[in-house]
């Protein structure tokens, strides 16, 4: 139930700055103010981003595009970035990152969600999220950018890696990009090719756009070096599972830029002998036995805590937490951090000895 329409709620958002100031100074409790605002419209909040589902559209046999309209608190989001989306299930708040395939000036955004075997949140969103429902979103993150020198671009995606690339492609073509651009999409089955009709319509309208698909599970094979070498493109933007983007990185020898993004976490560096140690989660008042072999995020979750997180690979910063004492190791580089009261990212930090964190 809403007292005012969403369009009015969005127009109200900039006028809420005095309330924001009072909350920031601690003179009002943000949760109390939000409780009052949501009586006017379920998306209305002082600072947090909430959005209402406006449309659902199947764009492949296992992928759904969701159009959402945000409450006016989202700023500077770009197509091709990712946002963490939250949903309450059985009293537990679950979150997962999805790519922005479109960002409109009117607060409308589009996200694409792929069905994941055993994926609790994704599958709930696909099967049970209705038009009109309200969701919370965290600030957008992600660095992929369309190159600005006007030279030919090659886009290579595997699976749901198509989604940020589609966001970038739509914007570049809408802004008049006229050099050759090739989109290469590797999927297991024909029916998993996403946004096919829209892409074909784009290719008819923009003769500089070439489309290629590799159907890896139906005898068509994966994208190989020879195929990549034969395609026009000075810049490569690739997104997919880690193995896919690493193969492309290894093959890329041209002078233009190379941007890659993977949605599978990096393999942690080997750290030698496994040790047990003590972990203290100060705010939760828990002291547990841990290991130097797993990230603090995994170990906190294994002990029943629910730290905020997004990408699980050190990009989005949503798992940032304060190190109170002890030494942690960056699992990607092996670097050690011991300065008390410094922010650390739980998903890429493993304890190096006994550790206390503000969680």
Taking CB under 6 A as the binding criterion, the range among 115-123, 221-229, 260-268, 313-321 that sits at the site for ligand FES is 313-321
What letters, b where the CB count within 10 A reaches 16 and e where it falls short, cover 31-41? eebbeebbeeb
Return d(Cα 326, Cα 282) in angstroms, integer: 13
Tell me, residue by residue from 267 to 306, as one string, x for binding to ligand FES by CB under 6 A and - for no binding: ----------------------------------------
Return d(Cα 193, Cα 226) in angstroms, integer: 22
Taking CB under 6 A as the binding criterion, the range among 85-93, 119-127, 171-179, 317-325 that sits at the site for ligand FES is 317-325
# residues contacting ligand FES (CB under 6 A): 12
Least separation in angstroms between residue 348's CB and ligand FES is 6
Contact of 154 with 252, CB cutoff 8 Å: no
Work out the burial of residue 94: count CB atoms within 10 Å of its CB; fewer than 13 is exposed, 13-18 middle, 19 or more buried.
middle
Q: Does residue 312 belong to the site contacting ligand FES (CB under 6 A)?
A: yes
Q: Does residue 345 belong to the site contacting ligand FES (CB under 6 A)?
A: yes
Q: Does residue 309 belong to the site contacting ligand FES (CB under 6 A)?
A: yes
Return d(Cα 121, Cα 64) in angstroms, integer: 13
Instruction: Compute φ and ψ for 180, nearest 5 degrees.
Output: -60, 140
Taking CB under 6 A as the binding criterion, the range among 113-121, 196-204, 276-284, 316-324 that sits at the site for ligand FES is 316-324
Return d(Cα 59, Cα 272) in angstroms, integer: 46
Distance of CA 356 to the CA centre of its chain: 28
Binder among 102, 199, 319, 355 for ligand FES (CB under 6 A): 319
Least separation in angstroms between residue 319's CB and ligand FES is 3
Taking CB under 6 A as the binding criterion, the range among 143-151, 242-250, 252-260, 312-320 that sits at the site for ligand FES is 312-320
Contact of 141 with 316, CB cutoff 8 Å: yes
Query: Quick one: which H or E segment has residue 182?
Result: strand 181-187
Least separation in angstroms between residue 158's CB and ligand FES is 21
Q: Does residue 329 belong to the site contacting ligand FES (CB under 6 A)?
A: no
Q: Does residue 85 belong to the site contacting ligand FES (CB under 6 A)?
A: no
Return d(Cα 348, Cα 331) in angstroms, integer: 5
Q: Does residue 163 belong to the site contacting ligand FES (CB under 6 A)?
A: no
- Give the pair of three-digit tokens for residue 184: 């290469």
Q: Does residue 96 belong to the site contacting ligand FES (CB under 6 A)?
A: no
Q: Which residues bind ligand FES (CB under 6 A)?
A: 309-312, 314-319, 345, 347
């Amino acid at each position: 139930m809403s007292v005012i329409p969403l369009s009015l709620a969005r127009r109200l958002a900039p006028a809420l700055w005095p309330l924001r100031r009072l909350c920031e100074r601690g003179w009002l409790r943000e949760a109390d103010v939000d409780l009052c605002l949501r009586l006017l419209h379920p998306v209305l909040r002082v600072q947090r981003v909430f959005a209402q589902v406006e449309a659902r559209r199947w764009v492949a046999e296992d992928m759904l595009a969701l159009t959402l309209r945000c409450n006016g608190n989202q700023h500077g989001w770009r197509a091709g970035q990712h946002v963490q989306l939250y949903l309450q299930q059985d009293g537990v708040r679950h979150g997962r990152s999805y790519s922005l395939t479109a960002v409109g000036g009117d607060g409308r955004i589009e996200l694409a969600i792929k069905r994941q075997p055993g994926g609790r949140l994704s599958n709930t969103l696909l099967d049970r999220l209705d038009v009109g429902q309200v969701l919370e979103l965290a600030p957008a993150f992600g660095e992929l950018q369309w190159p600005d020198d006007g030279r030919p671009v090659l886009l290579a995606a595997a699976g749901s890696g198509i989604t940020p690339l589609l966001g970038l492609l739509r914007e570049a073509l809408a802004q008049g990009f006229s050099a050759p651009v090739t989109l290469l999409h590797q999927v297991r089955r024909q029916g998993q090719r996403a946004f096919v009709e829209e892409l074909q319509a784009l290719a008819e309208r923009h003769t500089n756009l070439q489309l290629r698909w590799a159907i890896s599970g139906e005898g068509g094979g994966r994208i190989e070096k020879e195929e990549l070498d034969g395609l026009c493109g000075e810049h490569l933007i690739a997104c997919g599972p880690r193995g896919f983007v690493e193969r492309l990185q290894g093959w890329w020898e041209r002078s233009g830029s190379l941007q890659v993004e993977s949605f599978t976490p990096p393999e942690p560096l080997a750290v030698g002998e496994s040790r047990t140690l003590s972990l203290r989660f100060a705010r939760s008042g828990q002291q547990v036995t841990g290991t130097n072999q797993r990230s603090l995020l995994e170990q906190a979750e294994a002990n029943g805590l629910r730290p905020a997180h997004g990408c699980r690979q050190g990009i989005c910063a949503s798992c940032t937490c304060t190190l109170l004492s002890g030494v942690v190791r960056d699992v990607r580089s092996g670097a050690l951090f011991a300065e008390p009261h410094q922010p650390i990212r739980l998903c890429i930090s493993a304890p190096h000895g006994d550790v206390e964190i503000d969680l």
